[in-house]
Structure 1
Amino acid sequence: MSGTANTQALERALTILEALAGEKEGLGLNEVARRVGLHKSTVYRLLQTFKEYGYVEREADHGKYRLGLKILELSGQILDRIDVRTIAHPFLEELAAKSNEVAHLVIPDGDEAVYIDKVEGNRTIRMHSQIGRRVPLHSTAVGKAILAYLTWPEVQDLLARKGLPRFTARTITEWTELAKELEGIRQRGYAVDNGENEEGIRCVGAPIFDYQNRVVAALSISGSEVHVTEERIPELGGLVRWAGREISRRLGFRGGDA
């Protein structure tokens, strides 16, 4: 078979997969042929080949074809290789530039979060954050952004070992207050650390979701309370929520809340 013929056969095969991808309930042979503009016999041969390799399944009861689990296996392998830090870094740079504050990226690890990236803003403030440092979940904006998208039993199980220790006078130390706080975060789409982890430091954070709709990371804008004022919280909340949503989409998230 010539190179042109090979290319044409591949193009035909891809149009069939794309047609099936848009139909959750599947398509019959005649419908596939009509959609892709090919003769029924050609479509049948290609579908049989896809079926043999697991890329297409045929429903026994109504005879419709739909994408097979092999497609899911391949897409999962691709998505698992995606590095959230690589994707998020340009957004951290944009957040730092727009806010003049420090932008952070964390991932959850047990009952803590770990800083995996940081971009400094134009201001020079003293912060304890550094890549690799661990922080609590209940007293940080990034941590609360993660907790807000777990079930309440998951939150309690996760924090049971250490409880809700106090770090400043503003730290949430009561379970009922934390539950109320997490509900507010889900409604707003962003979390606020109002000097709850470090005296004089205010942070605004948002969650990041993956293709399985799991919260896998969070990002934040952090700065001195002198600069990150309460009046700026809605503006900064909008920025981190936007960045979290865009990063989530690049990770394959298709939900409506990110």
Structure 2
Amino acid sequence: MKKSKNTVRSSEKTLRILEAIHELEGGGVTEIADHLGMSKATAHHHLSTLEDNEYIIKDGSTYRSGLRLLEMGEQSRRQTGVFDIAKGEIDSLANNTGELANLMIEEHGRGVYVYIAAGEEAVHLDTKVGTRQYLHTSALGKSILAHMPKERFEEVIDRHGLPTKTPNTVTDKDTLEGELEEIRNRGVAFDGEERAEGIRCVAAPITDNAGKLIGAVSVSGPSTRMKGDRFREEIPEMVQDTATVIGINVSYS
């Protein structure tokens, strides 16, 4: 991943520590320092700074993320310009399919789950609001990649590559580009257990009236239910309808 030449190393260390706390779901000074390969003294200085500024809390000897981050994250979500408009439509999609309905936008070359709604039969997955994933590994991400300008697509692939998540993940650029062309032609993307084994997904891009890409919406469910006409016709139609309604509402908001 390319980085700016003007980064501040001390700030980078602080951010790495904040990310480590998230990845470890909390940890002590030694655990965090070992995780990042830095000295305990350095880790402690940055942890103290984060605590003093209320970004983390200290529970005994364990540091955890503070709720100030929740406030900032919620503001970021609302500033996307699509969350408030799309929420009700995503809820309806989840209710009508009984599965998980998802809203994703692209940021820094990865897909970010902005909202997730669960229908009555929805399975529990490792994705949650704020989870970031490589775009080529899911129907959501591929529907976004398929409708990016060519230059932006190249930037994303150069930055993140095509890492493997499951044996089904597409990791060859030529193969991916062929699949993206098919997605543009049919209007929906399919995920054949490429990010999580046993899970399939159908997604469609959200665009405004000017054709500007906003994000993507999808339905995810177990492969035992996501098959046949339901997977290839019924759910794709509902997903496309939802994406269209959201795009129209965004255009006239």
**Under TM normalisation by the shorter chain, which class is it?**
0.5 to 0.7
Q: C-alpha deviations, 1:174-204, integer Å up to 9, x for none?
A: 1111111111111111111110001111010
Q: CA deviation at 1:83?
A: 3.0
Separation (CA, whole Å) in 2 of partners of 1:197 and 1:102 = 15
Of 91, 97, 100, which residue of structure 2 is paired with 1:99?
97
- Contact preservation (8 Å) 1:210, 1:216: yes
Partner residue of 1:129?
Answer: 127
Of 161, 164, 169, which residue of structure 2 is paired with 1:163?
161
Q: Structure 2 counterpart of 1:242, which letter?
A: D
Separation (CA, whole Å) in 2 of partners of 1:82 and 1:177 = 31
Q: Structure 2 counterpart of 1:187, which letter?
A: N
Q: CA deviation at 1:152?
A: 3.1
Distance 1:170 1:229, change over 3 A: same
Partner residue of 1:85?
Answer: 83
Separation (CA, whole Å) in 2 of partners of 1:230 and 1:191 = 15
- Contact preservation (8 Å) 2:103, 2:113: yes
Normalised to the residue count of structure 2, the TM-score between the two structures is 0.65
Partner residue of 1:231?
Answer: 229
Q: CA deviation at 1:124?
A: 4.4
Partner residue of 2:178?
Answer: 180
Partner residue of 1:246?
Answer: 245
Normalised to the residue count of structure 1, the TM-score between the two structures is 0.64
Q: CA deviation at 1:126?
A: 2.6
Distance 1:161 1:230, change over 3 A: farther
- Contact preservation (8 Å) 1:152, 1:179: no
Q: CA deviation at 1:85?
A: 1.0
Unaligned runs of 5+ in 1: 1-79, 254-258
Distance 1:100 1:243, change over 3 A: same
Partner residue of 1:191?
Answer: 189
Separation (CA, whole Å) in 1 of partners of 2:167 and 2:217 = 24
Separation (CA, whole Å) in 1 of partners of 2:181 and 2:148 = 11
Q: CA deviation at 1:211?
A: 5.0
Of 114, 117, 121, which residue of structure 1 is paired with 2:115?
117
> Secondary structure in 1 aligned to 2:101?
strand
Aligned Cα root-mean-square deviation (Å): 1.9
Distance 1:164 1:213, change over 3 A: same
Distance 1:247 1:155, change over 3 A: same
Separation (CA, whole Å) in 2 of partners of 1:194 and 1:211 = 30
Distance 1:175 1:100, change over 3 A: same
Q: CA deviation at 1:93?
A: 1.4
Q: CA deviation at 1:153?
A: 3.4
In the alignment of these two chains, the number of paired residues is 174
Separation (CA, whole Å) in 2 of partners of 1:143 and 1:248 = 17
- Contact preservation (8 Å) 1:82, 1:251: no
Q: Structure 1 counterpart of 2:234, which letter?
A: E
Percent identity, aligned pairs only?
33
Separation (CA, whole Å) in 2 of partners of 1:144 and 1:124 = 22
Moved >2 Å (runs of 4+): 80-83, 151-154, 210-213
